[in-house]
Chains A and B, each alone.
Chain A
């Protein structure tokens, strides 16, 4: 329990008639990037909401940073930070005011200093005194993630962090996530993009119809598939090959 950042055993959750999680088990190690992969409606967000103490499970146990989510929610909240699917930033406060507000709510000593440091780190210094409604999608996401880093939580939840972002902003977010993990933060991310999990994750778990159907490193997952097959495919010559072939013939003559 103490060495795992997150430990989930037999977790169950239903909404009315619908059973969303049917006994989920997995473990996230400290300092790793863990990706929960699944299609839309697989229960990824439900999983994150339970771990972030926003929702109570019906059965099973979940511990975050060694604290049970059901009985020690306050200690869990002290250890984590959540970046939801939609950038939850205050639209009317400026970027800087958003950061200062969260720093005050985390009862940090120098909220202004904390805000300035994060603005610099996320390249938002020039936009600091503007409202997020004037930001691009990528900038909003950066502010959103910066808000999550206030107070240096040990474990960060990113629920579909790149949904709705253009390719450039997506690569930016990937870079941030890698830096976070490099600094020792545990990152738990959900995604429906296979490429994202492949790019970022140390380990991947696939959530399907309420259960983890496969888990491990990318290399381990690849081994679950049949051996790479050798196939012969008829190949059309490219224009280049045709061109070279004709030139070659002429020269031969």
Chain B
């Protein structure tokens, strides 16, 4: 086992290169994970934005955190899809019958998810800057935002891994992501929760997206993030650890 472990990082690097090629050669993936969130952002800012009262003068600033979370949620759906295809087509078996670190196959997919989501988040932020997004945040706040987004990505990626490894059909593998993509709508991502009926508001204020969105929004506008940041971190870490344990169990079977 020793020798196989020594190659863990180079094996994972090969896996990363492979999956990144899959992403860049798939117009469908690029369209869904990057262009769709940008289109949503354009739609909300230039069509609905005028009618939405958020109490700020810059709606792009208000909207951006929610758009980033949506982009990540649609990005991880492809992790499930790629894992499912690898399993179904016998690629995982081929890798597992070779003298490589077995966990490198799964971690390669996870690393790909982080790298590809970082790319789409950066592209979306650049577009937001062109649309008038401005931030007074310092380096530390930006680092904190990056940390929360990476944790959020990892948490959802491990959820996606469970879906990809246990699904029976391609549709089943990515279906888990639909509720994730819709969660931002029932949160403070697009409009403040004050205007919602009580039941919806209670749900919106207590689901993870709201605290993550509020934390990022506070950090980007250089406001004190207060409790929200700890609640956001607790959600991300909690989901990540539970999903990781289930995913690894599914992978070993």
Q: Report the separation of the CA atoms of residues A78 and B22 in the bound assembly, to the nearest whole angstrom.
A: 28
Q: Would you call A84 and B94 a contact (CB within 8 A)?
A: yes
B26 at the interface (CB under 8 A from A): yes
Q: Pick from B1, B18, B97 the residue with the most CB of A within 10 Å.
A: B97
Q: How far is the CB of A52 from chain B (nearest CB, A)?
A: 4
A53 at the interface (CB under 8 A from B): yes
Q: Would you call A101 and B14 a contact (CB within 8 A)?
A: yes
Q: Would you call B21 and A93 a contact (CB within 8 A)?
A: yes
Q: In the complex, which residues of chain A have a beta carbon less than 8 angstroms from the beta carbon of B7?
A: 107
- Given known A88-B89, A91-B89, A107-B10, contact A77–B22 (CB-CB < 8 A): no
Q: In the complex, which residues of chain B have a beta carbon less than 8 angstroms from the beta carbon of A53?
A: 96-97
Q: Would you call A106 and B99 a contact (CB within 8 A)?
A: yes
- Given known A54-B93, A104-B14, contact A92–B99 (CB-CB < 8 A): no
Q: Would you call B97 and A80 a contact (CB within 8 A)?
A: yes
Q: In the complex, which residues of chain B have a beta carbon less than 8 angstroms from the beta carbon of A84?
A: 90, 93-94
Q: Would you call A88 and B91 a contact (CB within 8 A)?
A: yes
Q: Which of chain A's residues 37-89 have a Cβ closer than 8 Å to chain B?
A: 49, 52-54, 74, 77-78, 80-82, 84-86, 88
Q: In the complex, which residues of chain B have a beta carbon less than 8 angstroms from the beta carbon of A88?
A: 89-91, 93-94
Q: Mark B3-30, 1 if CB is under 8 A from A, else 0.
A: 1100100110010011001100110000
- Which chain B residue shows the least CB distance to A52? B97
Q: Report the separation of the CA atoms of residues A172 and B99 in the bound assembly, to the nearest whole angstrom.
A: 29
A221 at the interface (CB under 8 A from B): no
Q: Report the separation of the CA atoms of residues A97 and B95 in the bound assembly, to the nearest whole angstrom.
A: 15
B100 at the interface (CB under 8 A from A): yes
Q: Pick from A54, A74, A105 the residue with the most CB of B within 10 Å.
A: A105
Q: In the complex, which residues of chain A have a beta carbon less than 8 angstroms from the beta carbon of B21?
A: 92-93, 97
A209 at the interface (CB under 8 A from B): no
Q: In the complex, which residues of chain B have a beta carbon less than 8 angstroms from the beta carbon of A92?
A: 21-22, 25-26
Q: Would you call B18 and A93 a contact (CB within 8 A)?
A: yes
Q: Report the separation of the CA atoms of residues A77 and B94 in the bound assembly, to the nearest whole angstrom.
A: 11
Q: Would you call B4 and A105 a contact (CB within 8 A)?
A: no
Q: Report the separation of the CA atoms of residues A80 and B10 in the bound assembly, to the nearest whole angstrom.
A: 21
Task: Tell me the interface secondary structure of chain B in the complex.
Answer: helix
Q: Report the separation of the CA atoms of residues A173 and B89 in the bound assembly, to the nearest whole angstrom.
A: 21
B98 at the interface (CB under 8 A from A): yes
Q: How far is the CB of A163 from chain B (nearest CB, A)?
A: 13
Q: Report the separation of the CA atoms of residues A85 and B93 in the bound assembly, to the nearest whole angstrom.
A: 11
Q: Would you call B18 and A101 a contact (CB within 8 A)?
A: yes
Give the total of B residues in contact with A, Cβ under 8 Å. 24
Q: Report the separation of the CA atoms of residues A77 and B102 in the bound assembly, to the nearest whole angstrom.
A: 11
Q: Would you call A74 and B4 a contact (CB within 8 A)?
A: yes
Q: Which of chain A's residues 95-112 have a Cβ closer than 8 Å to chain B?
A: 97, 101-102, 104-107
- Which chain B residue shows the least CB distance to A48? B97
- Which chain A residue shows the least CB distance to B4? A74
Q: How far is the CB of A114 from chain B (nearest CB, A)?
A: 14
Q: Mark B74-104, 1 if CB is under 8 A from A, else 0.
A: 0000000000000001110111111110000
- Which chain A residue shows the least CB distance to B18? A101
Q: In the complex, which residues of chain A have a beta carbon less than 8 angstroms from the beta carbon of B100?
A: 105
Q: In the complex, which residues of chain A have a beta carbon less than 8 angstroms from the beta carbon of B22?
A: 92
A147 at the interface (CB under 8 A from B): yes
- Which chain A residue shows the least CB distance to B1? A74
Q: Which of these, A80, A81, A86, contacts B89 with CB under 8 Å?
A: A86
A25 at the interface (CB under 8 A from B): no
Q: How far is the CB of A88 from chain B (nearest CB, A)?
A: 4
Q: How far is the CB of A219 from chain B (nearest CB, A)?
A: 33
- Which chain A residue shows the least CB distance to B91? A88
- Given known A54-B97, A105-B98, contact A90–B91 (CB-CB < 8 A): yes
Q: In the complex, which residues of chain B have a beta carbon less than 8 angstroms from the beta carbon of A90?
A: 18, 91
Q: Report the separation of the CA atoms of residues A101 and B95 in the bound assembly, to the nearest whole angstrom.
A: 11
Q: Would you call B97 and A82 a contact (CB within 8 A)?
A: yes
Q: Report the separation of the CA atoms of residues A53 and B18 in the bound assembly, to the nearest whole angstrom.
A: 24
Q: In the complex, which residues of chain A have a beta carbon less than 8 angstroms from the beta carbon of B99?
A: 74, 77-78, 106
Please list 18 pairs of residues, one from A and one from B, whose beta carbons are closer than 8 Å in the complex, sorted by A's number: A53-B96, A53-B97, A54-B93, A54-B96, A54-B97, A74-B1, A81-B97, A84-B94, A86-B89, A88-B93, A92-B21, A92-B25, A92-B26, A104-B10, A105-B95, A105-B98, A106-B98, A147-B94
19 more A-B residue pairs beyond the given contacts A85-B90, A105-B100, with a C-beta to C-beta distance below 8 A: A53-B96, A54-B96, A77-B98, A77-B99, A78-B99, A80-B97, A81-B97, A81-B98, A82-B93, A84-B90, A84-B93, A84-B94, A90-B91, A92-B21, A92-B22, A101-B17, A104-B10, A105-B98, A107-B10
